[in-house]
Amino acid sequence: MTVRVGVLALQGDTREHLAALTEAGAQACTVRRLAELDSVDALVIPGGESTVMSHLLREFELLEPLRARLADGMPAYGSCAGMILLATEILDAGVPGREALALRGIDMTVRRNAFGRQVDSFEESIPFAGLDSDVHAVFIRAPWVERVGESVEVLATAAGHPVAVRQGKVLATSFHPEVTGDRRVHRMFVDSLR
């Protein structure tokens, strides 16, 4: 069974996720409009700039429909900025009122830019639950998770904080597996949809 997975294409590393999803066996497409959101089985929210993405979700009138789809059980995967947006609570939001833009897909509190500024970006191999060997994780101005709800599973940690979590069929990583060529995280997500 082929699943149709959209990649939110408002800003961020859309192309890389489209390629990773295709290699993982999904039918991948971009999502910029409500009709496109309505046509997908699941959604990937890419890395990028969470403030810009939040603004564009409102401008494109996707914020409430996306929040409703997530509340209705639509599977999703968010990397970096996508993790921030999927949270129920965002620390260091930087923009007054931005807390209201949290999509509330995973019961967690996320701290933006927790590992530091752009110059503090780094790569590290980390164990990832459910995968047979470490994942090469690329952290770019990455968030980390400071609190998880009872039904949230921590899949990976770095610097003592969760950096990969899953709640039901919603997955989030603070790092960017789409830029490494390792498709195991995307395959794990796509396989969970079947």
Specify binding-site residues for L-glutamine: 48-50, 112, 140-141
Q: Are 32 and 6 in contact (CB under 8 A)?
A: no
* CA count, 13 A, side-chain hemisphere, 43: 29
Q: Are 162 and 156 in contact (CB under 8 A)?
A: yes
Catalytic residue among 16, 17, 178, 186: 178
Torsion of CA 83, 85, 87, 89, to 10 degrees: 130
| Bind-site residues | 48-50, 112, 140-141
Nearest to 163 by CA among 101, 102, 78, 46: 78
Catalytic residue among 23, 29, 36, 80: 80
- Rounded distance, CA 85 to CA 121, Å? 20
Catalytic site includes residue 176: yes
Q: Which two tokens stand for residue 119?
A: 């110059």
Q: In residues, how long is the chain?
A: 194
Catalytic site includes residue 59: no
Catalytic site includes residue 178: yes
Q: Which two tokens stand for residue 76?
A: 């999703």
Catalytic residue among 99, 146, 161, 176: 176
Burial class, 133, CB count within 10 angstroms (exposed 0-12 / middle 13-18 / buried 19+): exposed
- Point out the residues that are catalytic: 80, 176, 178
